[in-house]
Amino acid sequence: MFLENASRKGWIEVVCGSMFSGKTEELIRRLKRAQFAHQRVEIFKPRIDVRYSEEQVVSHDANAIRSTPVESPQNILLMTSDVDVVGIDEAQFFDDSIVEVCRQLADSGIRVIVAGLDMDYTGKPFGPMPALMATAEYVTKVHAICVRCGNLAHHSHRLTRDDKQVMLGAQDSYEPICRHCFRELRLAEEQSPERREPKKD
Ligand code: ZN
């Protein structure tokens, strides 16, 4: 369980993991506790993520909290002049400037809580997440349960034919799987190339 240590203000927390790992729920849990303590909280997400509601960070269990969609990380700086805590969801979809924006926020005394997918469906580090994890004071990696064997899962396996790194509005197209099941799927794919998904041009 993550516990805040607020002797000096301003730091960065990262909550990361695969799909269905509960990272947005953990972000919401931390933000709601801060709100309950009358801290001023603002929540942002990239405008690209419009799966559910324009105005809300929505986790899959519908435990929602109001958020502001922004085009670019710079917009966050313009909207956080008078806040104690900034939450950022789906951070993997922002460009690399989110790293500098988070640094500036934390340097100015704001508690920054960033949630995002740490890996894409191929198992590669996702966008700015590695740099955010490296520059944060606290990193919490949350896990899903492998749907194939019950181990801890940290891969988001894509079930559909699509090679794009970003595929939105498709929760049903992923399943959480563990390292070993991920490897088995990869090996099976390599051994029978005809099973590979056709590339799109
Ligand atoms: Zn497994």
pLDDT in tens, 51-70: 555 566 655 555 567 889 99
- What's the residue count for the chain? 201
179 CA → ligand 1 middle, Å: 7
Instruction: Tell me the pLDDT of the chain averaged across its residues.
Output: 87
94 CA → ligand 1 middle, Å: 30
Lowest mean pLDDT among 28-32, 34-38, 45-49, 57-61: 57-61
Lowest mean pLDDT among 64-73, 145-154, 177-186: 64-73
Query: Model's pTM, two decimal places?
Result: 0.86
More confident residue, 188 or 102: 102
24 CA → ligand 1 middle, Å: 23
| Helix%, strand%, coil% for the chain, nearest 5 | 30, 25, 45
Q: Is 126 exposed, middle or buried (0-12, 13-18, 19+ CB in 10 A)?
A: buried
Domains of the chain in start order, with CATH, are: 11-142 (3.40.50.300)
d(CA 108, CA 155): 35
d(CA 1, CA 91): 22
Lowest mean pLDDT among 25-39, 50-64, 67-81, 153-167: 50-64
